[in-house]
Amino acid sequence: MPQSPLHAGLPAGQPHPEWLALAAQGLFLEAAAVSRTTSNMPEICSRVCPQERLCEGACILNCRTEPVAIGAVERFINEFAFHHSTVEIARAPANGRRVAVIGSGPGGLSAADELAQLGYAVTVFESQLVPGGLLVNGIPAFKLEKSIVERRIELLTKAGVEFRLGVNVGRDLGLADLRREFDAVFLAVGAQQAKPLDVPGAGLAGVLPSLPFLIQKNVPAMAGEFPPIEVAGRRIVVLGGGDTAMDCLRTALRGGAQSAICLYRRDLANMPGSRKEYYNALEEGAQFEFLTNPLELVDNGQGAVSAVRCVRMALGEPDASGRRKPRPVAGSEFTVPADLILVAYGFDPVPFPAGSEFAQIATTEWGSLFVDNDQMTSVPGVFSGGDAVRGPSLVVHAVRDARKAVAGIHRFLSRPPVQTAAAQFRG
Ligand SMILES: Cc1cc2nc3c(=O)[nH]c(=O)nc-3n(C[C@H](O)[C@H](O)[C@H](O)COP(=O)(O)OP(=O)(O)OC[C@H]3O[C@@H](n4cnc5c(N)ncnc54)[C@H](O)[C@@H]3O)c2cc1C
């Protein structure tokens, strides 16, 4: 059957046209059931996906009028299904095999769901005491209420998925330990190591990475890493132009900041963050200085930041990635006063400790894990997906990778003779 433009715009091959047709007939439970066939968390994706770049961007009505509000419909039908208690994880009879999932973000939760449905015994290891990954500790509650994630985790627990929290795999538990207990491993450890700010003054008090700030404001139970970060009445400057930067701006303004200014080195057209998030931030009072780069953070004389010295940028020729490279404009320096700087320059995967068997997995020069077409890493039986493989990406991509990896794990463990594949993993 030829693909519709909408099908072509969907990253996980979702049957959106099919469930939209059911929803249009008022068959909401049936529509939700169809939407769940390709997503392990449609109630979450419908809230956080940048639909304007994905499904709504591919809607054929776009050339004529507004696109169908696909995200809003998906959210409604799935909440309707939860309200009518029709959402559950159908578990196949136990197949006698065990899989360890490392990380409880959207990648780990989706893999656990898929594996449980195939009859695997699943244990999710999570280094934090609160499960959910960036769904809980990165994405602010005003975009995704924490109760929505908790409800998903409860469903998994009911389906028999075990959660072992506060266990840092690689440090507290090695691959050899996992091999003794499990037949395969899915690494969904994300990419949460902040890219550094490399200008004079970066070490001043009042200069913070974005994620600990968001975690403190989002999850009081995890706020221990930094002393309370005060934003009320203060002038906040956010460096970077992605979704994390937009979340910092809005979180600061909602916390009573006097001002929240985003400094981004390219222009709006080249900003990586979702347009929806940009307009939301603008509406809430955020200010934007495009084509602006920090040169230095200014000391207030007592070791704390008081301003950012900036330079204007101009866009030059496209670089290897196709994006126009920004270059400084001579003589355009200016200063932006600031009491708190939040650095949102993106993330890299956190490397496993040197000496850990996990550190032997082949990686790219940015530290993301190499995988084959089945999402298997260079170590047989160890699979991966989501941000750990792609670098910072989207929830829907982590879900898609997890589903692909589980299909790969199932093939790996079902290959005849079964003992050979398992023996390969057990080494
Ligand atoms: C501030 C912010 C806002 C975002 N907003 C959006 C948005 O609006 N829409 C969207 O689609 N995407 C958004 N994203 C991106 C999205 O959250 C990620 O792409 C997605 O969460 C990646 O899922 P994951 O499962 O690969 O990793 P994560 O969600 O990062 O989960 C990884 C988990 O693994 C755990 N872990 C790591 N190492 C270990 C270890 N050694 N042992 C045990 N556990 C470990 C971590 O604690 C974490 O819980 C945002 C990201 C950020 C930072």
328 class by beta-carbon count within 10 Å (0-12 exposed, 13-18 middle, 19+ buried): middle
One fold for both 98-192+348-426 and 196-345? yes
pLDDT of residue 320: 75
The H or E element that residue 261 is part of is strand 259-263
pLDDT of residue 411: 96
pLDDT of residue 62: 58
Residue 417 has pLDDT above 60, yes or no: no
**Rounded (5°) CA angle 135-348-339:** 75
CATH code of the domain made up of 196-345: 3.50.50.60
Distance 386 CA to ligand 1 centre (A): 8
Tokens 């999402």 sit on residue: 375
Query: For the chain, what percent of residues have pLDDT higher than 70?
Result: 89
Confidence of residue 237 (pLDDT cuts 50, 70, 90): very high
The domain segmentation of the chain, as residue ranges, is 5-83, 98-192+348-426, 196-345
- 263, 238 Cβ separation under 8 angstroms: yes
pLDDT of residue 110: 98
- 44, 149 Cβ separation under 8 angstroms: yes
| pLDDT tens-digit readout, 273-326 | 888 899 999 999 999 999 999 999 999 999 999 999 999 999 988 877 777 889
CATH code of the domain made up of 98-192+348-426: 3.50.50.60
Report how far apart, in Å, the C-alpha atoms of 31 and of each of 11, 20, 73, 123 are. Answer: 19, 7, 10, 31
| Mean per-residue pLDDT, 135-157 | 95
Residue 59 has pLDDT above 60, yes or no: no
| pLDDT tens-digit readout, 76-114 | 999 999 999 888 888 889 999 999 999 999 999 999 999
* Average model confidence (pLDDT) across the chain: 90
Confidence of residue 75 (pLDDT cuts 50, 70, 90): very high
Q: State both tokens at 7.
A: 């099908």
Supply the residue whose CA is at minimum distance from atom 33 of ligand 1: 103
| Mean per-residue pLDDT, 117-137 | 96
Q: How far apart are CA 189 and CA 193, in angstroms?
A: 11
CATH code of the domain made up of 5-83: 1.10.1060.10
Which residue among 343, 368, 395, 400 has the greatest number of ligand 1 atoms within 8 angstroms of its CB, and so is best to mutate? Answer: 395
Confidence of residue 398 (pLDDT cuts 50, 70, 90): very high
| pLDDT tens-digit readout, 171-222 | 999 999 999 999 999 999 999 999 999 999 999 999 999 999 999 988 877 7
Distance 106 CA to ligand 1 centre (A): 7
The ligand 1 atom nearest the CA atom of 395:
11
Residue 144 has pLDDT above 80, yes or no: yes
Residue 7 has pLDDT above 90, yes or no: no
380 class by beta-carbon count within 10 Å (0-12 exposed, 13-18 middle, 19+ buried): middle
Binding pocket residue ranges, ligand 1, CB within 6 Å: 48-49, 102-108, 125-128, 133-134, 138-139, 143, 168-170, 188-190, 192, 214, 243-244, 247, 350, 386-388, 393-396, 398
Q: Cα 416 to the chain's mean position, in Å? A: 36
Q: How far apart are CA 396 and CA 408, in angstroms?
A: 18
pLDDT of residue 43: 95
Q: How far apart are CA 84 and CA 99, in angstroms?
A: 32
Distance 13 CA to ligand 1 centre (A): 22
pLDDT of residue 4: 63
pLDDT of residue 426: 65
The ligand 1 atom nearest the CA atom of 125:
43
pLDDT of residue 376: 98
Helical H runs in 159-274? 175-181, 210-218, 243-254
Residue 348 has pLDDT above 80, yes or no: yes
Please provide the DSSP assignment of 370-405 as one string: P--TTSB-SSTTEEE-THHHHSS--HHHHHHHHHHH
The ligand 1 atom nearest the CA atom of 134:
29
Least reliable range by pLDDT among 55-59, 206-210, 354-358, 413-417 = 55-59
